[in-house]
Structures are given as structure tokens and as C-alpha cells.
Amino acid sequence: MDIQMILKYLSDLNENNNREWYHAHKAENKAANTEFENLIQALMMGIGEFDSSVLHNNPKNLTFKLARDTRFSHDKSPYNPAFRAHISSQGKLPIPVGYYVMIKPGNHSFLGGGLFADMFKDATTMIRDYIVQNAEEWEQIIHEPEFEKYFTVQGTALKNVPAGYEKEHSQAEYLKFKSWYLEYPLKDEELNDADAFLVKAVNIFCVMKPFNDYLNRALFDFRMPAR
């Protein structure tokens, strides 16, 4: 498992972000992808020690493509020089929430969890309602000392508490949110030792699990919209 190979390929792609270079370096792409899939497999096995629901996955099905959709973007670079994966009980779908990893050179890598997508209105409502009904448990999870050591809850948020919810609710600030996620940033040097990184990442994901579990209980009846 060679994370340095991954970083080298992505750095080169960042400097040569065009289709000609990408297609001329398919061998390097394949090698880096293989190393990333090996990393995801190792992370999955580590996570499986405390969350066995992820163990049935194939790493190939958990990763995201490098190609960008540039139709509505001012940045017309065809590729996002980052390897990304979402490890959950249902693969890489945003719901149920799981364990997210992004490897991107330039100190842009991070470990994440929770709900990043805010376009699913039903999911947002389900989580808001669950926080209203289970406010004390939410408070305990996000203020557990080990959790606070690594995370602050982030997400797209409204300016005001939405209609239908009490403005004086104990978790009013979190009722404004439309998504609820966690990010633990990683510097490039933290990826130098793959074995040490794995130990750290699995520990951080373990600390994250109660937060993910809470959101997944809220989202138990959620169904992805039909395409």
C-alpha cells in the first residue's frame, strides 16, 4: 500500500489537468487506483472491527471518478485531482451515512462522516425531527470529550430556525442545518507512513461512529429518489 504513489500521481495530474496528459498516463492512473483500492480495503477491514456492516463491500464500488462535471462551472479543468471513497453499509450512496476519505495533495486530504448532501429535503426533515425528539442524546454525542478532540459539526445552514420548529429549542442552532457532517483535515506528511495513517484513521472513524449511528437512526425510513 503506497500512499506516496497516490500523492505523486495526483500531484502530476494537478499540474497537467488535461485530457491529453490523462490518457497518455493510463498506466500511472491504474497503478495509483490500485493502491487507493488497497487503502480502502485496509480501512474497511479496520472499520469492520467496530462496524461489521461495511465488510461486504468491494472497494472498487466505493470510489468516485476523477472526471468533473464542468457544464455549470467556471473551472473547466476536466479532472478533480483527488481520490475519494465513501464506506457505508450500502456502498458509496450518501445515505446511509458512513466513513468518507479524500486523498488530495497540498494538505487538502481529510477523513469525514455524516450527511454531506443537502439536496434531499426529506432527509433534512428526518434529521431535524429526530434531533427535536432526541436532543439529549445529540448533546451527549457532540460534546463527548473524545469527539470534541477531533470534530466540530459542520453543514450548510439557514440563517434562522425553519418554520415548524421552536426557536428556543435547546438544539436550535443545529435545527438550522440542512446537512450535518464531520471533517478531520490531514496534512500530506501524515500520509508518509501508511501503517501509522491506517491506525489513526480507523481510530478517528471509531470516534465518529456514534454520530453516524445517530443520523442513520434518523434516516432509517429514507429512500433515495428514483432517477
pLDDT value for 192: 93
- Which tens digits make up the pLDDT trace of 31-44? 999 999 999 999 99
pLDDT value for 225: 83
Q: Nearest to residue 95, comparing CAs of 74, 76, 121, 69? A: 121
pLDDT value for 227: 73
pLDDT value for 2: 92
Q: Angle 121-133/194-218 helices, nearest 10 degrees?
A: 80
3-state secondary structure of 39: helix
pLDDT value for 115: 98
User: 31 φ, ψ to 5°?
Assistant: -65, -45
Full-model pTM: 0.94
Question: Are the CB atoms for 67 and 78 separated by under 8 Å?
Answer: yes
Sites in the chain below the pLDDT cut of 50: none
Domains of the chain: which residue ranges? 3-218
Measured distance CA(224)–CA(100) in Å, rounded: 19
- Which tens digits make up the pLDDT trace of 196-219? 999 999 999 999 999 999 999 999
Q: Give Cβ neighbours of residue 226 (< 8 Å, ≥ 6 apart).
A: none
